Structure 1
């Protein structure tokens, strides 16, 4: 009677040991993967401490620390993102500062379908040059040709509005959001003050009793 009982307990012990070994092996594999990925990050340097990187819309910020296990990113809410190196090394990374910290910012505006486009362009260009973080990215040839520092183009014309885009060079990617906010507010105030028509939504109403 004792032999079957012993066999049952032995089977249970060995099964548990096998499960523990599998868990340890999986954990060791993950740890080894992070170590190898960390070594590649340190060696090839796709990003460095102090770089502004973006993995996706929720994982972006300043690289604060890189070790062999994980990378620490300080996001714009002053929260730390701890990302395993095995994850970050396999994702596509947008590095804003690895070569050049200057960025081209797209700023979109909408004006009424009958608005004065030339006046709107003039206001946008004037307000853009007032922003403290903008830079002149023109070539010497463009400066001699008196091409405006801020390129403003009509992107599309819709039934109820005209879509205009201003291309603004900014000296630091960290300053883009604040610059865009101040820029758009200033442009809107000038539009209202100088009478630039703003878009009015068009709604189509169908009355069933007339159909």
Structure 2
């Protein structure tokens, strides 16, 4: 019984497969001939890959030997190898497509598109080389140079894509119009991003600061690490990275501490009125001159000046110059100078006052009723006999 059941199931499965094949028109297909044709196509494709691969290896070896013998900086083996790989892929793709009976119109369009893309790549290499030489000749800022390179790459890519699509019969003008409509839609949807992008381009052109400058933007003080098209990166003295949108940077006050070279450090000080300002100056000056980070050139001499007469002190200020490379350590330098100045003034016996008030009561008879009972009680307790 079990054998009969399984036989019936198998016969039903075969019948279902046969009915499905008849309905799809697959019963007339010669599967053995189709399999033989497919295997033949795969073998031919493998032979084509091997042939073009061997040809690529020979040409690649020849290019490497030629560039080594020429030893010319103008010949880039990397770009030549990239071109050879591209040609290898293009010819291999065309040969394989021809084996699978792809229409001639598609083959020709693919070939034209491939050579158009190769032409744009060569044009991009030439323009990049010219741009690089121009940037080096005129010593253009690296940030602007990077912006120009990115713009060149984007423009070349867009034009290449449009021209490649045109080889397959696409309407170029319709594509450009569609891109314009998409650009308008994206512009409305990303107004903030576009605003930051335009502000970034403005910053790169006007150059209120450069990479490595120490700046203050929107109450954020730090060293400029990166100027991107959307944000500006700062690193604070606490090694905290801050990203500020370029739109905010362009519309705010910018203080650049590094733009004009050395900066001057101001140290407010105070001495008591009984002390001599001249003597304090003579004591503070050696401290400024002995510090290794203080500039001592003829036009940047450290000095100590009196700035005013305060409520409880004679106000002085110590002025010293430090180099742009030491701006990162300016708080530490100020702390070291303050500590050394205080030790020097303490050693010389010069008082550094603190704010205080003195109250003088000449004739306070109105307070006598308040304090007289207190004095009477204290005197009585002190004169009372000891009854213990």
- TM bucket (normalised to shorter chain) is 0.7 to 0.9
Offset, 1:80? 0.9
Paired with 1:188 and 1:175, the residues of 2 have a C-alpha distance of 20
Paired with 1:120 and 1:185, the residues of 2 have a C-alpha distance of 15
1:32 paired with 2:32, answer no
Paired with 1:114 and 1:49, the residues of 2 have a C-alpha distance of 50
Higher RCO structure, 1 or 2 (CA under 8 Å, sep 6+): 1
1:119 paired with 2:272, answer no
Equivalent runs, 1:100-119 vs 2, <5 Å: 100=261, 102-119=262-279
Contact map agreement 1:115 1:198 (CA 8 A) in 2: no
User: Which structure has the greater CA radius of gyration?
Assistant: 2
Q: Render the CA deviation track for 1:167-206: whole Å, top value 9, x for unaligned.
A: 1111132232111110110010111111012214322559
Alignment-derived partner of residue 66 in structure 1: 227
Q: Which has the higher helix share?
A: 2
Alignment-derived partner of residue 49 in structure 1: 211
1:194 paired with 2:356, answer no
RMSD: 2.4
Contact map agreement 2:218 2:252 (CA 8 A) in 1: no
Alignment-derived partner of residue 151 in structure 1: 303
Q: 1:27 to 1:206 in 2, by over 3 A?
A: farther
Paired with 1:65 and 1:206, the residues of 2 have a C-alpha distance of 62
Alignment-derived partner of residue 136 in structure 1: 296
Contact map agreement 1:52 1:61 (CA 8 A) in 2: yes
Contact map agreement 1:54 1:61 (CA 8 A) in 2: yes
Alignment-derived partner of residue 89 in structure 1: 250
Task: Give 5+ residue unaligned stretches, structure 2.
Answer: 1-185, 369-388
Contact map agreement 1:63 1:73 (CA 8 A) in 2: yes
Normalization by structure 2: what TM-score?
A: 0.43
Task: Give 5+ residue unaligned stretches, structure 1.
Answer: 1-23, 143-148
Normalization by structure 1: what TM-score?
A: 0.76
Offset, 1:156? 0.9
Q: 1:196 to 1:37 in 2, by over 3 A?
A: same
Q: Which has the higher strand share?
A: 1
Number of aligned residue pairs:
178
Give SS of 1:179's match. Answer: helix
